[in-house]
Amino acid sequence: MNLSYEPDGDLLEVIFDESLHDAEQKTYRLRDGLMLFVAADSMKPVQLTIVSYRGLAQLPSFYFNGWAKLKATDRKKLLPIINSPQVSTFVKLDPKTGYGHLASHAVLEPFALAA
């Protein structure tokens, strides 16, 4: 796992599996500025991109408007990935309400040291 944070753009990129980076991917926009990239054939998480990370992380919760726009079949395929330990370290989502939140800045500190 690799983390990249760009303070000027408040952009956090989490690369879960670099070996899948060249694989064909599907992009799921969970909300404006929050995208999850998944390997098309294996449905494994490849990358999570969060624009305005610090701002979103400070909110107690927010609506994942992109989640609501996904087809039911896509939500069903995507839910185990979102609930996986890799992704849920950064994103928490209640699939019934469409609301969730991001992990706090404190969660990122150990990752930043390891990166």
pLDDT tens digits, the chain, 115 residues: what are they?
A: 898 888 888 899 999 999 998 899 999 999 999 999 999 999 999 999 999 988 888 889 999 999 999 999 999 999 999 999 999 999 999 999 999 999 766 655 554 444 4
Look up residue 79 and give its DSSP letter.
H
Q: Is the pTM of this model over 0.75?
A: yes
Tokens of 50: 């969060």
Number of domains in the chain: 1
Q: Are 39 and 25 spatial neighbours (Cβ–Cβ below 8 Å)? A: yes
Q: Are 53 and 90 spatial neighbours (Cβ–Cβ below 8 Å)? A: no
- Domain, as residue range, for 39: 2-114
